[in-house]
Structure 1
Amino acid sequence: MKPRLLVTSLLLSTLFSLINPPLAQAQTGKDAFLFGDLLPDAPELAARGSYGVGVRTMKLNHPGQIDVLRAKDGKTPLYDRPLTVEIWYPARIPAGKAELVQYDEVLGVANDPKRPLVPFTFIGRALRDAEPNPGEGAYPLVIVSHGYPGSRLMFTYLTENLASKGYVVVSIDHTESTYRDAAAFPSTLLNRALDDLFVLNEMARLSGKGSKSFLAGLLDANNTALVGYSMGGYGVLNATGAGFSNQAVTFFGQMTGGSTALQVRSTNASEYKASQDPRIKAVVAFAPWGMERGVWDAEGLKGLTRPTLFIAGSKDDVSGYEKGIKAIYDGAVNADRYMLTYINARHNVAPNPPPAESMKPGLPLNEYMRYAEPAWSERRINNINQHFVTAFLGIHLKKQDYGKYLDLNETDSAGPWTGFKPRTSVGLEMRHARP
């Protein structure tokens, strides 16, 4: 290369890096390893599918919702509840276009002076605003719900992966429950299942005939799965039949000065029974919160009838294991259910790996521990989750013959699990119970 051209090339490269350093690094680095990429020991179904992946951000508005955080003197006002969602979908990637996207995220928690918000960016394998690939018909819908606090971008390793396999994946920023706007807990307790069901209705509307949305004809809302983590798990279980106990309703009232708003989500409420939506075909609950606090009782758990995959850490110190997640699994006697357990993992069995920014000196340990597992590689967990969620949703939303990947011995003591390389299914347990 001529000296003048070399200088020009270096200047342009430097300028691009200054404007967009993470994306520049991903595009120019030969060994870039992004969230969700495969480790050498990744199980079989962790690999991406054949579709290119597009991603878009959408603003929704849920009118006339109870504003429980502003209840006063026995009166509870209503408000229009805004919800931001991120949507990943099968897409056409133009020749010469990199299938890369920059996501904007934050460390810290709103309104916590000990954990100020620290913006950071990271790169994913999708193309912003790409043209949808209509394929051979409408794709199944997967709705994803984060923890408290959390973010719609906590699980990009999984949302991108599922979109590449022919799903439309919609991840919700639950208002008053994200890192950027975390507010008092009663909003999360009340709104999780309501947000999930509203987003399902909105996706059905936007995908319908005559819609001017890019989603028109792209997804099949009648073939939907809910995926939730922690408080998201709490929400998706309530949305699909696990009515809250009287103890939960009382607890909520004590937190809110006597509000009875949670009553409509309790087991015997007529409004609750009427809200059960047959369009939801399957549920994935990562570390669902609430059982140790009496949120459900035996009668409430009997209402779970859809196929459910529970994913937990045996040392979960947030949701609890024996008296928490496993107790939900044991009590869901009317559901065909699986439970994958990471032995010695704690609560973080769902999110992306820790971002590099969380490791900077001087930051609170919680910024790293929001994502990290003490006894596991988070990237390893991500690959295993990709594998099992692919198998589970493939069976129930796509009618794929993936039963062999789930119907396993409880441990690998008799040999490696189907789909795993030799010696790599150690440290895992899989349970299965039918109604």
Structure 2
Amino acid sequence: MKISLSRYVFILLFIVGTVIQAVAQTPGDAFVNGDLLPNAPDLAARGTYGVGVRTMKLVHPAQVDVLHTKDGKHPLYDRPLTVEIWYPARSAANKSATVTYESVLGRANDPKRPLVPFTFTGRAGRDAEPDPGGGAYPLVIVSHGYLGSRLLLTYLTENLASKGYVVVAIDHTESTYSDAAGFPSTLLNRSLDDLFVLNEMARLGAKTSNTFLAGLLDADNTALIGYSMGGYGALNVVGAGYSPQAMKLFAQVAGGSTALAVRAMDSPAYKSSLDPRIKAVVAFAPWGMERGVWDATGLAGLTLPTLFVAGSKDDVSGYEKGIKAIYDGAVNADRYLLTYVNARHNVAPNPPPMASLLPGVSADEYMHYAEPAWNEHRINNINQHFVTAFLGIHLKKLDYAKYLDLPETDAAGPWTGFKPRMSVGLEMRHAKP
């Protein structure tokens, strides 16, 4: 049987990739998501804490089931939410502890992209004993895109835990690869999920709690990180109320439903939901501006320090009329915009898993993670650096301003914290109220 040259190359690459993946799952040996490339900026390195990880199942009772109607009304349901929690642990802050994460490729609601289970390795100890030595650690809540999962940004969640944060990533029900459902659920529930998880972490982290989180976290010192639809929800949580146009869009896709009105800028219920425990927000490629989700009034409601991260050629959320327009319109916030020049939408997630290269797996699974003009591991290291600087300033009061207050480009020389020639292709903007 003859094998074409292209088929031979593919088979060879697959074999090599399989070997690499196998080696990567040997504890402490090979490159794992979030490890440092030689050109990583200064603050990308892990911190001094060991990292533990646990999975927890929560239930948000009596939520509006916007995807179903009964007698012309939306029924209520108890909304399950699975979260992954990374935390400082009593283990060596080195590469000896590894964990195997279980995830899937594909989409539950798309027969052309069937679910493909896969595993990948992280640097954390499953169910490791918490380290209370740092007192109550700041809380970081992470919200994935549509579709996505709580494991989409493990390079960042592990990294932050090693620096003394408790990091909680949400599986947003009806918005993950495994349980993908109608888009109205994502539009309605993102901000509501974030607020519920914040309240649950405050309850479980109380000193009187009988969980491993007791006394471990400080919910009064919280940041939100959101990617794509996660950014859409996170910005709403912290003051960017949705516009009348957003209400119309929601009604169009949700059969006339007005359920989103509780998150509209002109809603008294919305204004009373703004939570002073949240101190800062990081929005990776937030979706919605090109669809009129926010107007000038809504964006003016954003007053918390905000780090936006975007690709200059984002073809999902948009750049000039999308993410940059949000940045420009948030006139009452101390805000930064980090731009990856020539990047598209995938500026937040882990690199493509090796399973995305398997024969028969849709090419869309690889492209769901990949950036055409950037190395994803490089993006991950840069994100670790800048998120560390931003959260260090606002949650830990660290003197990291020099890493953020940069010239717009590196035309005059490398940015602070970057090795020579290694800040090329990046732009940083900063605006104050």
TM normalised by structure 1 equals 0.93
Aligned to 2:282: 284
Q: 1:114 aligns with which of 88, 112, 119?
A: 112
C-alpha displacement at 1:23, in angstroms? Answer: 9.6
Aligned to 1:275: 273
Give % identity. Answer: 79
C-alpha displacement at 1:24, in angstroms? Answer: 7.3
Q: 1:347 aligns with which of 345, 348, 356?
A: 345
Structure 2: runs of 5+ lacking an equivalent = 1-18
Code of the aligned partner of 1:228:
G
Asked whether the equivalents of residues 49 and 91 of structure 2 are also in contact (C-alpha less than 8 Å), the reply is: no
Asked whether the equivalents of residues 207 and 217 of structure 1 are also in contact (C-alpha less than 8 Å), the reply is: yes
Asked whether the equivalents of residues 336 and 431 of structure 2 are also in contact (C-alpha less than 8 Å), the reply is: yes
Where 1:172 maps in the other structure, the secondary structure is strand
Q: 1:61 aligns with which of 59, 62, 65?
A: 59
Where 2:67 maps in the other structure, the secondary structure is helix
In structure 2, relative to structure 1, the CA distance for the partners of 1:175 and 1:399 (3 Å cut) is same
Aligned to 1:294: 292
Aligned to 2:243: 245
Code of the aligned partner of 1:41:
N
- CA RMSD across the alignment: 1.7
Aligned to 2:165: 167
C-alpha displacement at 1:98, in angstroms? Answer: 3.6
Q: 1:93 aligns with which of 91, 94, 97?
A: 91
Q: 1:139 aligns with which of 123, 137, 147?
A: 137
Aligned to 2:427: 429
Where 1:284 maps in the other structure, the secondary structure is strand
TM normalised by structure 2 equals 0.94
Where 2:364 maps in the other structure, the secondary structure is helix
Code of the aligned partner of 1:429:
E
Code of the aligned partner of 1:235:
G
Aligned to 2:399: 401
Code of the aligned partner of 1:405:
Y
In structure 2, relative to structure 1, the CA distance for the partners of 1:96 and 1:268 (3 Å cut) is closer
Structure 1: runs of 5+ lacking an equivalent = 1-20
Asked whether the equivalents of residues 22 and 102 of structure 1 are also in contact (C-alpha less than 8 Å), the reply is: no
Q: Measure, in 1, the Cα distance between the counterparts of 2:358 and 2:236.
A: 38
Asked whether the equivalents of residues 74 and 258 of structure 1 are also in contact (C-alpha less than 8 Å), the reply is: no
C-alpha displacement at 1:30, in angstroms? Answer: 7.2
Cα deviations across residues 74-131 of structure 1 (Å, max 9, x unaligned)?
3110000000000000001279994100000101000211000000000000000000
Cα deviations across residues 133-174 of structure 1 (Å, max 9, x unaligned)?
002310000000000010000000000000000000000000
Q: Measure, in 1, the Cα distance between the counterparts of 2:98 and 2:26.
A: 12
Structure 1 ranges of 4+ moved more than 4 A:
21-24, 26-31, 94-97
Q: Measure, in 2, the Cα distance between the counterparts of 1:28 and 1:243.
A: 47
Q: Measure, in 2, the Cα distance between the counterparts of 1:250 and 1:358.
A: 37
Asked whether the equivalents of residues 145 and 230 of structure 2 are also in contact (C-alpha less than 8 Å), the reply is: yes
Code of the aligned partner of 1:62:
H
Q: 1:212 aligns with which of 210, 219, 232?
A: 210
Q: Measure, in 2, the Cα distance between the counterparts of 1:194 and 1:42.
A: 36
Q: Measure, in 1, the Cα distance between the counterparts of 2:218 and 2:344.
A: 35
Q: Measure, in 1, the Cα distance between the counterparts of 2:241 and 2:174.
A: 23
Asked whether the equivalents of residues 337 and 433 of structure 1 are also in contact (C-alpha less than 8 Å), the reply is: yes
In structure 2, relative to structure 1, the CA distance for the partners of 1:97 and 1:303 (3 Å cut) is closer
Map residues 258-407 of structure 1 onto 2, 5 A cutoff.
Answer: 258-407=256-405
